[in-house]
């Protein structure tokens, strides 16, 4: 018996902003098996939208994260996964057992305890950004003036970038992630500047070790210095735009649901609700595998959509409601399985401090434009806002 060719949908779907995820995802979840889709470059990939299926894909050893395998999805645009010969140490693109070496070396740097020790530094960074905003007047672009600099400054402190270089570091990372505001050449130049800077930082720490992440990783000796630059670059990129967009979108949601301002449970719910890293966990089957009754052949690309999974009403009651009182910890906003976000403890603390201090210090904070007028990133790998005009 020949099987009918499944219907092919165009992907990615345009994101309407609010509500996110795109309403089309609900229809996909209702279909049997997986959804065959066509990417802008014409490639076909399987979309995975149910919570249970996304977790199954992200824990299946027959499914790879390595972009060097033929058929790996190319969803276009910047934050695509570089290959190892471009940036050695970019371990999110490696499978076990190569991936394990990096993961094992880095886990101790992101434990709850280690992140707790970073609290005072994060609080200082957030306060400094708020001081600058308040000193500049009674309005701001919360993306450019707060949400983007905070994670960049936190990561630069984590990497041991000296305070005097943090402005340089921040301006280059901003160019790198500003998909619309900068050209390909500018982003390329910023990436080169950062890699050069980071390689120099590694060389300095080799000579003069201190009590910081780079020195500890060098001392452990399981990651070679040339790989370490790629690892640091990954931390920088993985932790910047994701966190920034989540902070900014969360502020909009909190302003729309002010009864939750001041409640730390909002952090987990904004992660689930916005699921900014919807197109981050790209995969390819390296053996034939059946998912939800659908045969996926070796060499076929798979895109597990974490936003679709986090709005699956089989796993979350009334998923389109922002309800911090729900228990949302099983969301997959940080992915799942061996590549689950390494920075998640850090993000939670960063967001908690960012929201608490922002609303404590600026209790009259309000949107300066109607919410419908906000400019959402319709085309990025990471969902978010281009700008967030606010006043107080
Ligand atoms: C991996 C989301 C912030 C470091 C991931 C993955 C997701 C994710 C979905 C899985 C990728 C995959 O399956 O291929 C997020 C979100 C963030 C955030 C939503 C903020 C709201 C951060 C921060 C850091 C970080 C602050 C570090 C400073 C990493 C690293 C990986 C990763 C290193 C790769 C882990 C591995 O391959 O073992 N993140 N992330 N992330 N994230 Fe995050």
10 phi and psi angles, rounded to 5 deg: -80, 145
Give yes or no for residue 277 CB within 6 A of ligand 1: yes
Comparing CA positions, the residue from 11, 16, 19 lying closest to residue 253 is 19
In this prediction, residue 80 carries a pLDDT of 44
Section 257-274 average pLDDT: 97
C-alpha closest to that of 73 among 107, 106, 104, 47? 47
The percent of residues above 90 in pLDDT, for the chain, comes to 69
**Tens digit of each residue's pLDDT (9 = 90 or more) over 20-50:** 788 889 889 988 899 999 998 889 999 999 9
Confidence class of residue 185 from pLDDT cuts 50, 70 and 90? confident
**How confident is the model over 312-317, as a mean pLDDT?**
95
Task: Indicate the Cα dihedral angle 245, 16, 180, 189, nearest 10°.
Answer: 50
Q: How far is the CA of 46 from the centre of ligand 1 (A)?
A: 22
For residues 296 and 302, is the Cβ–Cβ distance under 8 A? Answer: yes
Q: Which of 334, 337, 352 to mutate to test the pocket of ligand 1 (most atoms within 8 A of CB)?
A: 334
Give the per-residue pLDDT at 82.
Answer: 57
How far is 97 from 101, CA to CA, in rounded Å? 7
Q: What's the whole-number average pLDDT of the chain?
A: 91
Reported as a pLDDT band with limits 50, 70 and 90, residue 1 is: very low
173 lines ligand 1 (CB under 6 A): no
Assigned token pair, 195:
């890699």
Euclidean distance between CA atoms 34 and 231, whole angstroms: 33
- The pLDDT value recorded for residue 22 is 82
Taking residues 273-283, report their average pLDDT: 93
State the sign of the Cα–Cα–Cα–Cα dihedral 144, 147, 153, 155: negative
Q: What is the DSSP letter of 376?
A: B
Q: How confident is the model at residue 4 (pLDDT cuts 50, 70, 90)?
A: low
Residues 206, 345, 20, 8: what is their CA dihedral angle, to the nearest 10 degrees? 60
Structure confidence at residue 103 as a pLDDT band (50, 70, 90):
very high
Whether ipTM tops 0.95, in short, is yes
The per-residue pLDDT for 79 is 41
Identify the residue whose C-alpha is closest to ligand 1 atom 39.
341
Contact between 268 and 329 under an 8 Å Cβ cutoff? The reply is yes
* pTM higher than the cut 0.90: yes
The predicted model gives 99-106 an average pLDDT of 97
Grouping H, G, I as helix, E, B as strand and the rest as coil, residue 8 is: strand
- What is the mean predicted confidence (pLDDT) over 43-65? 97
Gap from CA of 390 to ligand 1 centroid (Å): 28
Give tens-digit pLDDT for 196-235.
999 999 999 999 999 999 999 999 999 999 899 999 999 9
Predicted confidence (pLDDT) at residue 3 exceeds the cutoff of 60: no
State which CATH number among 3.40.50.720, 3.40.640.10, 1.20.5.440, 1.10.630.10 fits the domain covering 8-391: 1.10.630.10
Assign 179 a pLDDT band (cuts: 50, 70, 90): low
Q: Could you tell me the pLDDT band of residue 342, with boundaries at 50, 70 and 90?
A: very high
Half-sphere exposure for 388 (CA within 13 Å, toward CB): 25
Q: Is the pLDDT of residue 5 over 70?
A: no
Decide whether any atom of ligand 1 lies within 6 Å of the 284 Cβ.
no
Looking at the chain, the whole-number percentage of residues with pLDDT higher than 70 is 94
- Please work out whether the CB of residue 65 comes within 6 Å of at least one atom of ligand 1: yes
Three-state secondary structure of 292-339: CCEEECCCCEEEECHHHHCCCCCCCCCCCCCCCCCCCCCCCCCCCHHH
Residues shown for the chain:
392
pLDDT at 81 over 60: no
Q: If pLDDT is split at 50, 70 and 90, which confidence band does 19 have?
A: low
**Closest Cα to atom 14, ligand 1: which residue?**
281
Cα gap 229→195, rounded to integer Å: 7
Ligand 1 pocket: which of 81, 150, 242 to mutate (most atoms <8 Å of CB)?
242
Token pair, residue 385, equals 């806002």
Which atom of ligand 1 approaches the CA of 151 most closely? 26
The three-point CA angle 167-156-249 to 5° equals 85
Give the model's pLDDT for residue 85.
63
């Amino acid at each position: 018996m020949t099987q009918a060719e499944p219907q092919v949908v165009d992907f990615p779907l345009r994101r309407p902003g609010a509500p996110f995820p795109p309403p089309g995802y609900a229809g996909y979840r209702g279909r049997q098996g997986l959804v065959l889709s066509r990417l802008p470059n014409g490639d076909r990939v399987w979309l995975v939208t149910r919570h249970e299926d996304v977790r199954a894909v992200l824990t299946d050893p027959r499914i790879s994260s390595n972009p060097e395998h033929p058929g790996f999805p190319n969803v276009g645009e910047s934050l695509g996964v570089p290959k190892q010969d471009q940036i050695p140490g970019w371990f999110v693109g490696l499978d076990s057992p190569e991936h394990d070496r990096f993961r094992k070396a880095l886990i101790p740097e992101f434990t709850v305890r280690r992140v707790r020790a970073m609290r005072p530094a994060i609080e200082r960074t957030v306060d400094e950004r708020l001081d600058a905003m308040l000193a500049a007047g009674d309005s701001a672009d919360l993306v450019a003036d707060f949400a983007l600099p905070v994670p960049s400054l936190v990561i630069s402190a984590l990497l041991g970038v000296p305070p005097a270089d943090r402005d340089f570091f921040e301006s280059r990372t901003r160019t790198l992630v500003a998909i619309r505001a900068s050209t390909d050449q500018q982003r390329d130049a910023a990436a080169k500047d950062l890699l050069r800077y980071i390689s120099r930082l590694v060389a300095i720490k080799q000579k003069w070790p201190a009590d910081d992440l780079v020195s500890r990783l060098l001392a452990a000796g399981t990651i070679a210095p040339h790989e370490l630059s790629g690892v640091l670059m990954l931390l920088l990129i993985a932790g910047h735009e994701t966190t920034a967009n989540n902070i900014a979108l969360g502020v909009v949601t909190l302003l729309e649901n002010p009864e939750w301002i001041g409640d730390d449970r909002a952090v987990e719910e904004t992660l689930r609700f916005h699921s900014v890293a919807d197109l981050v966990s790209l995969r390819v089957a390296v053996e034939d595998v059946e998912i939800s009754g659908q045969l996926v052949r070796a060499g076929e690309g798979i895109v597990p959509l974490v936003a679709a999974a986090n709005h699956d009403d089989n796993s979350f009651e009334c998923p389109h409601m922002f309800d911090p009182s729900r228990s949302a910890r099983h969301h997959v906003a940080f992915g799942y399985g061996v590549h689950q976000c390494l920075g998640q403890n850090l993000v939670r603390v960063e967001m908690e401090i960012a929201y608490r201090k922002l609303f404590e210090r600026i209790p009259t904070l309000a949107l300066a434009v109607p919410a419908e007028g906000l400019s959402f990133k319709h085309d990025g790998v990471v969902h978010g806002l281009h700008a967030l005009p606010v006043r107080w």
